[in-house]
Amino acid sequence: MDLSDLYTPQELAEKRISFLERVLAFYNEIPETADRARTVGHKLRGTGGNLGLADLAERGTALQWQAQEGASSDVLKGELARIRPQIEAAIARERAILSERGA
């Protein structure tokens, strides 16, 4: 069983957009850098991975590991800044799928 057995492409795109927009919101909602990195990394790894967002899940795993190992605030801020455009690009890709399918 895989995601295509559970969702239509439109449904999956909608789920991914909703999830990724929530992850982006953490950038503003969580003031402390290490907490923000842990949360963003954790969500991308777990739920992102389950939604089939493999590249972002991999980045999330690395970020979570860095935060867990006590990487400096500057290192975590840099990594968070590098991941953000990837999240935005993923949202744009999913929106394109919705628009192609006339949703």
Partner 1 sequence: MEESTSPRILIVDDDPETTDIICRVLSKEGFDVTTTVDPRQAIEYVEDEKFAVVVSDIQMPEISGHELTRAVHDTVKGTQVILMTAYSTIDKVVEAYQVGASDYLLKPFEDLDEVAEAVRGAVRRHQRWHEALRKTYRQSEQRWA
- 51 sits near partner 1 (criterion: CB under 8 A): yes
Cβ atoms of residues 84 and 61 within 8 Å:
no
Among left, alpha and beta (phi > 0; psi -120 to 50; other), residue 102 is left
Based on CB atoms, which residue is closest to partner 1, 57 or 71?
A: 57
Q: What is the largest CA-CA distance in the chain?
A: 46
Q: Which stretch binds partner 1 (CB under 8 A): 29-37, 43-51, 74-82, 86-94?
A: 43-51
Binding residues (CB under 8 A) for partner 1: these are 1-3, 5-7, 15, 18-19, 42-43, 45-51, 57, 64, 68
